[in-house]
Amino acid sequence: MSVPAMSTTVGSFHLSRSHGTPSRSFPRVRMAVRSGAVSVAPILTNLQKDCATSLPVLSHVADAMAADMRAGLAADGGSNLKMILSYVDSLPSGNEKGLFYALDLGGTNFRVLRVQLGGKEERVIATEFEQVSISQELMFGTSEQLFDFIASGLAKFAQKEGGKFHLPSGRMREIGFTFSFPVKQLSIDSGMLIKWTKGFAVSGTAGKDVVACLNEAMERLGLEMRVSALVNDTVGTLAGARYWDDDVMVAVILGTGTNACYVERNDAIPKQTGHASASGRTIVNTEWGAFSNGLPLTVYDREMDAASINPGEQIFEKTISGMYLGEIVRRVLLKMTEEGDLFGKSVPVKLSNPFILRTPDLCAMQQDSSADLQTVGSILYSVVGLESNFSARRIVVDVCDTIVKRGGRLAGAGIVGILQKMEEDSRGLIFGKRTVVAMDGGLYENYPQYRRYLQDAVTELLGTEISKNVVIEHSKDGSGIGAALLAASNSKYEHEF
């Protein structure tokens, strides 16, 4: 979209009177005109310049992603990217049978799911799930409080089992536990939390085995279930998508946070010692949220990072994922209100409230196709307390678009980086045939502009021919079923099918 001319304040004065709320906007606009306050156009122009993702910038990001992956595979601590070995070396075959549970803790919500698997013929016979939101209190509470809450949610859900779900007698219910925070995996069913991300600050979990934390909480409740696979959500998504499609090689999550994993050859993992899988392949969890090389960042990103609970960390995540896009836009709008004449003279109290403007709000504003940007106006007013005229609304939409475009395009460049790395090690096996990237997460799912920008970047980087072979596929809630499938393939009753 174009940058509105410097004179729009005066022009929009008339627009706001005819479309909006004259009694409120009239004195504010008049004040702005009289005071000769500064136009916000330069703020927008600078933002667009700092966020620009030209092809050379994207190429650099893709190359740096590939290089960081190699460094992380060479040695622990060798790179920003942890390149965590998942201990998942066999992907679902379709033969899995029986009743399995999955539990997903990953951000704003925690989900429980059960699935009855019927093998090659019947596949997924039935699934049921429930979702519970994680309160702010729990995110800042103790480890026991959080895991007790999860175990009790799981217990309530398990009590409602019936219908098509059936557990052979004498067996314990088995769980695939999707835990989407950085974990040092110790085996398929244990792993130590490295650190909380995505705004979680639970005390007493870092350095502990999260499976043990859950087991202890289940014991406290007298709930007889066991975790047979601990999986990252990206790994669950890859497994879930692979169950239906053999060409799936990469999985990416774009939700509250972001991460990616892919199928790696064992001979390309120098740091792997001992554990050699029969398949010759292992899923590697990149933890790419920590990537930071060559990203186009702005003063708003730096200030948001400095104010965050993990300054200097998760920079890629802070630039492209759902938790942060709204907050970056809020910071830009705050600057425009403080220094420009866009929204009148005073700064609404709400606008100073970190994280009050959320990514779904940006998304709703960008879908507004009304002539006077009615929805944009009402969201600005109800969420951040800003009264806006038409030109202000247009500028806000441009700000959203700038931040979302940068996010989507950088996510696309990251994906190309992973594919490039895989292709370098296995000429033709990635770009020379159909390769599927399974995508999941609320941001990718719900934000059409973001999705389009991501796909555009992939196509620009790979060129039209090669990009025809790269299929980016939405695998909705695949991680839940995927985790249950991994619980099945790692079941302690595995040999009793």
Residues 183/191, Cβ–Cβ less than 8 Å: yes
Please identify which residue in 72, 240, 255, 344 interacts with Mg ion, judged by CB under 5 A: 255
Residue 323 touches which of Mg ion, ligand ADP, none (CB < 5 to 8 A by kind)? ligand ADP
| Residue 363 binding result from ligand ADP, Mg ion, none, given CB thresholds of 5 to 8 Å by partner type | ligand ADP
Q: How many CB atoms lie within 10 A of CB 163?
A: 9
Residue 84 Cβ vs ligand ADP, minimum distance, rounded to whole Å:
18
* Nearest-angstrom CA–CA distance, 221 and 204: 20
Any idea which residue has 């022009």 for tokens?
11
Smallest distance, Å, CB 227 to Mg ion? 18
Closer CB to ligand ADP, 115 or 323, in the complex: 323
Marked catalytic residue, from 82, 198, 318, 405: 198
* Contact positions vs ligand ADP (CB under 6 A): 106-109, 255-257, 322-323, 359-360, 363, 441-443, 446-447
Contact by Cβ (8 Å): 127, 485 = no
- 3 state SS of 292: coil
Closest distance of CB 320 from Mg ion, Å: 15
**Nearest residue (CB) to ligand ADP, 105 versus 430:** 105
> Would you call 97 exposed, middle or buried from its count of C-beta atoms within 10 A (0-12, 13-18, 19+)?
middle
Q: Does 322 bind Mg ion (CB under 5 A)?
A: no
**Residue 443 binding partner per list ligand ADP, Mg ion, none, with a CB distance cut-off of 5 to 8 Å that depends on partner kind:** ligand ADP
Nearer to ligand ADP, 107 or 408 (CB): 107
CA distance 408 to 444: 9
Residue 233 annotated to the active site: yes
Whole-angstrom distance, CA of residue 61 vs CA of residue 163: 50
Please give the Cα distance from 73 to 85 (Å, whole number): 9
Where are the extended beta strands (E) located within 208-254? 225-231, 248-254
Q: Active-site residue among 148, 233, 341, 440? A: 233
Q: Answer left, alpha or beta for residue 36, where phi above 0 means left and psi between -120 and 50 means alpha.
A: left
β-bridge mates for residue 191, sequence order: 185
In the shown chain, the binding pattern of residues 93 to 112 toward Mg ion, with x for contact by CB under 5 A and - for none, equals -------------x------
Residue 459 tokens read as 């196509």
Nearer to ligand ADP, 104 or 460 (CB): 104
Nearer Cβ to ligand ADP, position 55 or 201? 201
Q: Is 198 an annotated catalytic residue?
A: yes
In angstroms, what is the minimal distance from the CB of 61 to Mg ion?
24
Q: Which residues bind Mg ion (CB under 5 A)?
A: 106, 233, 255
Catalytic residues: 198, 233
